[in-house]
Amino acid sequence: MRSKRKELITILFLVFIFIFQAYAHEEWIVPQEIFQGDLKTISIGSAGPISAYFEGEPLFLWKENENWKGIIGIDLFSPVGRKRLIVKSETAEKVFFVEVKHRELPIRFITLPEKWLKLSKEDLERIKMEKERLKFILMKDWENPPLWKGPFRWPVEGKVIDGFGTKRLINGQYVSYHTGIDISAPRGREVYPSNRGKVFFVGPLVLEGNTVIINHGIGLYSLYCHLQEIRVREGEVVEEGFPLGTIGSSGRAQGPHLHFSVIFRNKKVDPLSLLDVLGDKNGRKVF
């Protein structure tokens, strides 16, 4: 009887050691907080497959060295408060709470001639149609693996003249929130994709002017607006060092600059956040 008890204790001890070693090789790195409009990465050290769910939505995970990586994105207008993140592996399931924090949004006062603000009925109808089309485009191919290679980089050398989330008051009246960053540069300067990806959209838009949208995989898109010249075609894969166009002022633009924005799974996020978590802020000089 004693020998059986001793044998059972030995087996239980070995099982405990096995489980402990399995946990010891799993490093779970998740953010504790994230601001509205930001991106964060999660990293899970696991030899076996894992899955993750943020507020019930499955995250796309990819293997990088010995870790599984994923991205959490918070829309600029997402409610603040605790969000649930569930991570499952072959040996464990954990629940994390990520605190979404309020983002302070600057206000920018702009004065423009009234005639510059007026849009025809045809333009308003076209804008409505363009928004619906872009919404459809940006909802596609979320399950494709990452297409990017290496760090994300600045798309052009220039000066940031307007940041992400700025509340714009034109002639004293609220018009919109700025959902990208504006980089001023000389007309004709080449603009590059922030990273490798597939050209998903090319064309003129009423407000944004000549625009290129790059699909980087897993529902991550970068947008390049107000271009003077476009040098890429829909459907082609572009590398980080291949120019996609040149700086211009097409659409509703006050002067030559690039409007650079990032959409992650239908969420408006700060391009600087992308460069922070997946990029190289010194890739091109921006001052």
- Domain, as residue range, for 186: 120-161+180-280
CATH of the domain at 266: 2.70.70.10
| DSSP H stretches of helix in the chain | 2-24, 114-117, 121-137, 271-278
Same domain, 186 and 85: no
112 is a domain residue: no
Confidence at residue 284, expressed as pLDDT on a 0 to 100 scale:
52
Total structural domains within the chain: 2
Place of tokens 């956040």: 273
Confidence at residue 161, expressed as pLDDT on a 0 to 100 scale:
93
Q: Are 167 and 177 contacting, i.e. CB atoms less than 8 angstroms apart?
A: yes
114 is a domain residue: no
Same domain, 150 and 74: no
- In this prediction the pTM is 0.86
Instruction: Fill in the amino acid letter for 203.
Output: G
The better pLDDT of the pair 139, 23 is held by: 139
Report the share of the chain in percent with pLDDT over 70: 87
Same domain, 48 and 144: no
* Res. 7 pLDDT band, cuts 50 70 90: low
What is the mean pLDDT of the segment spanning 152-158? 95
User: pLDDT at residue 174 above 80?
Assistant: no
46 is a domain residue: yes
How open is the CA angle 68-71-77, to the nearest 5 degrees?
165
Confidence at residue 113, expressed as pLDDT on a 0 to 100 scale:
77
CATH of the domain at 66: 2.60.40.1590
What is the mean pLDDT of the segment spanning 225-234? 98
Same domain, 58 and 150: no
* Res. 131 pLDDT band, cuts 50 70 90: very high
What is the mean pLDDT of the segment spanning 144-164? 94
Same domain, 136 and 204: yes
Q: What is the pLDDT of residues 58-111, one digit of tens each?
A: 999 998 888 899 999 999 999 999 999 999 888 888 999 999 999 999 888 887
